[in-house]
Structure 1
């Protein structure tokens, strides 16, 4: 996805991030139809931008135990 300006995005830490400061993922809910995702340890680094339906499927698979680590 090109052309999405994330400079004013508000970010929240994913509930799936661990609590000790490692493996932290942040997402933004500010954009219709897409979900930007970034590493909270690198807030000015790159973000991945997923189509919302794909992100919903991914989160559902994780919470349903369909993906293992």
Structure 2
């Protein structure tokens, strides 16, 4: 059964700077990089759609080739 950290550690830990720490963490990756990653993600979604469509067309072409032989 997990009851968290031992009582002694709970009394000793100073959490007064936690909010400041986590706020600083939100700025570790520059906004420019976040935009780059968002654009890359969107491009990869579109590329996946293209590859999916190509796969469908390839399957259709293969089926047509079988019918014609």
Q: TM-score, normalised by structure 1?
A: 0.27
Larger relative contact order (Cα-Cα within 8 Å, sequence gap ≥ 6): 1
Q: TM-score, normalised by structure 2?
A: 0.27
- From the two aligned structures, give the one with the greater helix fraction: 2
Larger-Rg structure: 2
